[in-house]
Amino acid sequence: MAGQDLRTLFSSNDRSIAANEAFTNRQAQWRAVTAGLAGHLRHVTGADFDVEDLEAPRRNILVFHGVGGIGKSTLSRKIEASLARSEHRPVQWESPSHPEDRTLPVRIDFSRAAGMDFERVILTIRLAVAALGRPMPAFDLALRRYWEHNHPGEPIEDHLRRGGLLSRFSAAAALPQQMQSALSDVAQALLLPGTVGSALGLGAGALIKALRERRQSVRALAGCSRLADLLEAEPDLEALSFYPHLLSWDLAQLPSDKGALPVILLDTFEDTGDRTHRDFERLLQRVVWLMPNAFFVVTGRNRLQWAETSVEGQLDWTGPDAWPGLVPDTAQTRLGVSGRQILIGDFSPEDCEDYLARRLSRDGQPLIGDPIRRIIAEHSHGLPLYLDLSVMRYLELRRGGRQPQVTDFDHDFPALIARTLSDLTADERHVLRAVSLLSAFSVPLATQVAGMDHDAPALRLTERPFIRESSAGVWPFHVHDLIRAAIRNADDDSDDRWSEQDWQRAVQRAFHALESQWRRDPRRDRALLVGCLTQGLLLARDFRLDLGWLADAAFQYVGDCVWEPLALPAPATHDTSSSGLRTAADALVETLSAVARRQHEHRERTAGRLSAVLASGLLPDDLVELATYYLAKAQRDLGLTDDSRRNMWRVASADGRLASAARRGLAHLSRLSGDFPTAVETAGRLGWEGRHHRVLGDVWWVQGDMERAAAAYLAARSEAEEHGVVGETAMVQAHLAFAVSFSDPLRADDELDLADRLLSRLSLRSTEMTARIAAVVRDVGFAADVPDRAAVLLAEIGVSGISYAAAKLQLALCFHHAVFDAQDDLATTITRLRDLTQSGDYAYYVDIAHFMAGLPLPEHTARARWIDGEQQTRERWRHLVTTRRNHLATTR
């Protein structure tokens, strides 16, 4: 229906309010298709239509867009079937004004499961046109040349058969004969000897020359002014994207009683890419632009942005002049329809506000003010029904004699439950309530949480439109956010509503089902761990459960050293405590979030968050150990050595799960103070859990013994790979790259490349800093921008609060100045290094800088305990500098 919304119109005595209907049904969408087709047929059969006009605006496209699961693909399939055969048209759909045989529908599915690429798009369109029973000579010549170049020795019919395209189109078998006919005609016209392939092999030049000279022998093709240019171009994917122009020209040459209008339906258009990567979309836009005598129906989640100037440069034809039908029409009175772009189903946030602005108006201005429109749009989660109910609530409040306020719309509608449950079976309603406890689910998980012994109700539920499906996460399904919130929070007056005990039993089933999925995973899948941990924490927080298995999951989360974000939505109830922590789950979430976010936050922020968690007293003892350990690490990075040592000692003394890690931390603290023999002795007792090889590598590179350091890091990497700890693998690889950057710049290239690849999938800020410092060391003497790069990196280190990284970077600059014997710059950098290490941590970096430059140590300098003595350590570091100098001298 269209025009006035009668229900809203009769909800108020105020006749100045204009109430416009916002939603259209499938009949209206079918009418849009038939009206668009009729108009397009009139346009292409007009005397002024020129298929080769590349500048005229395009109106040959209609777009249906809406959220997933609303029925866009079903609509696309139904349109294709209805245009192909009238008996497939729904009875409520009107007959189109054009004859059935004047259209040639073909649907192309871009969903990931369909595996559609651009070459397959072109072949699909050509196969559909094969139903006309006529060769397409210009297009077929170009396609055969492309095919021979890109698929040498592979007959096109074999390719089509393997891809399933021959079986899809009844006339597809005629395509090879049609193409051969076109080639044979050209070969005969040019008197070329040999096989048909000669027309595009040795004879390609002859054909192009004949076309350019518009010879009588090829007069049928010479009228296609751009054919010669396309045959001359390299037959790659770029050229293929322009071949639709040739197909369009061929279709235009057919007698009126032999031709038909191609209707090309492009479904699941959102899977062609995203709004930052438009390569596939750019190729598809060319097809639409270069086939002005075809009609395109696009279905996808988003409206096309082709009429917007903001995408200029990403696509070939953009702006309102190129695509006038795709420009939003603010004068439309039917909400959801703007020109040739029609919204079906749910709305985007922008569409929600637009809907509300136009649904109720007075004197052409929105009746509902901006703040209220925003809050309604936010709470609606894009569900049209919620918007509709909110409009009715707005009018109801006005009838009560007061102006509606923003707070009036922090509201759940029981009607949402009633309408959602109305056509569900009792079992489906039971499963729906159970899965509303979960942010995502699979059919087996839903069955388990519902306490059922058969999957059928869950399977049926996943087919409902308010259940969304996505292949991106661990579990494929989730309940529409608004429906989920209503089921959990709104008053439920249905006959089979759950009691509080029913909800508690379901919560326990859900909590234990998540535990079961995580513990029984033989692959230790990281995504499953994070998914189970996140959902379990939500349940524990919202229903005040004991943490139970979540403690084990938390230790696995930190043990993998991956640090992907772990955040929970804010609780429904507002907290009044200063820390915002109410439950043990809150405290654990804050702990894990602080640990993960330390890769992106200043270490002072990390230390403050963890201190607040420990002060809350909400964590059980084993998780207190976890928070204390990572507080100690943050304190060490901030240079708070005494505090760090005290907390590391606490954790090590407790002899819990992180005792070995804490002992490693104590070994690191010994190394920081220059007590290297103690660090080596401690490493001997750490084993794999204490990362003993990494501890040794960290000691050996400081001694200038890069060979032993590299060997230790390699052993550490092998252990990490053997245990499947990807974060540790990446960390050790960055340290290995740093060590070899001093001694072997060529090898460092490979090691840094591997480090970058390992780190690209992780979030390890401090390790990324190590890798970047390693790149600076590697480039000493080879790149003039080393000081500039170091300055940029130093600023980033300052933001992170990782003090040791700043000192390590200054040491790298000392190496740079020592290699070039830049004494003044070296003295300045040593001064900075001394300032950074004045607490005593890493004070031996100042010694190393002197060793590099062959300078004596200042008097009254605290001496580090070098493994092989000061003189041998000095000689090693000086040798690294002179070796780099000699290498530079021989390469210049």
Boundary of a domain, candidates 634, 653, 672: 653
Residues 641 and 708 in one domain: no
Residues 61 and 194 in one domain: no
- Give the CA dihedral 368, 370, 375, 378, nearest 10 degrees: 110
Domain count, the chain: 5
Q: Contact at 8 Å (CB) between 566 and 557?
A: yes
Residues 684 and 813 in one domain: yes
Domain contains 10? no
The confidence score (pLDDT) of residue 275 equals: 52
- Sequence-ordered list of residues with C-beta below 8 angstroms from that of 364, at least 6 positions apart, any chain: none
Residues 56 and 109 in one domain: yes
pLDDT in tens, 445-481: 999 999 999 999 999 888 775 777 887 788 999 888 8
The DSSP-derived string for 487-555 is HHHS---STTPPPHHHHHHHHHHHHHHHHHHHHT-TT--HHHHHHHHHHHHHHHHHTT---TTHHHHHH
Domain contains 8? no
Angle, helix 526-542 to helix 500-519, in steps of 10 degrees: 160
CATH code for the domain in which residue 57 is found: 3.40.50
Residue among 173, 174, 179 nearest 141 (CA): 179
Parallel, antiparallel or unpaired: strands 360-362 and 365-366 = antiparallel
Structure token digits, residue 487: 């089921």
Residue among 497, 435, 445, 489 nearest 467 (CA): 435
The DSSP-derived string for 725-738 is -HHHHHHHHHHHHH
Residues 472 and 616 in one domain: yes
Residue among 884, 876, 886 nearest 848 (CA): 876
Task: Answer positive or negative: Cα dihedral of 144, 146, 151, 152.
Answer: positive
Mean pLDDT, 10 residues at a time, the chain of 892 residues: 48 56 59 92 91 94 70 82 85 79 89 84 92 88 89 87 79 74 66 48 59 57 82 91 95 88 92 75 96 94 81 90 80 46 72 76 79 83 74 80 80 68 80 93 95 91 76 86 79 78 94 94 84 93 92 89 73 54 90 84 89 93 93 88 92 90 88 90 88 93 95 95 90 95 94 94 86 94 89 86 85 94 93 89 92 89 86 95 90 69
Domain contains 120? no
Residues 291 and 160 in one domain: no
d(CA 558, CA 534): 14
The confidence score (pLDDT) of residue 197 equals: 47
Report how far apart the first and last C-alpha atoms of the chain are (Å, whole number).
80
d(CA 122, CA 180): 18
d(CA 687, CA 694): 10
Domain contains 37? yes
Q: Contact at 8 Å (CB) between 160 and 175?
A: yes
Domain contains 412? no
Residues 298 and 428 in one domain: no
Boundary of a domain, candidates 407, 426, 445: 407
Query: How long is the chain?
Result: 892
Domain contains 819? yes
Domain contains 249? yes
* Beta strands across the sheet bearing 17-19: 17-19, 360-362, 365-366
71 exposure class (CB count in 10 Å sphere: 0-12, 13-18, 19+): middle
pLDDT in tens, 775-797: 999 999 888 889 999 999 998 88
Boundary of a domain, candidates 212, 227, 253: 253
Residues 159 and 214 in one domain: yes
The confidence score (pLDDT) of residue 1 equals: 33
Residues 83 and 182 in one domain: no
Residue among 166, 125, 148, 160 nearest 251 (CA): 125
CATH code for the domain in which residue 797 is found: 1.25.40.10
Residues 811 and 666 in one domain: yes
Q: Cα 337 from chain centroid?
A: 29
Residues 434 and 472 in one domain: yes
Residues 459 and 604 in one domain: yes
Q: DSSP assignment, residue 401?
A: T
Phi/psi at 274 (5° precision): -125, -175
Domain contains 17? no
The DSSP-derived string for 592-622 is HHHHHHTTTS-HHHHHHHHHHHHHHT-S-HH
Other CB atoms within a 10 A radius of the CB of residue 427 amount to 16
The confidence score (pLDDT) of residue 55 equals: 93
Q: Which domain holds residue 187?
A: 133-253
Residue among 590, 492, 609 nearest 541 (CA): 590
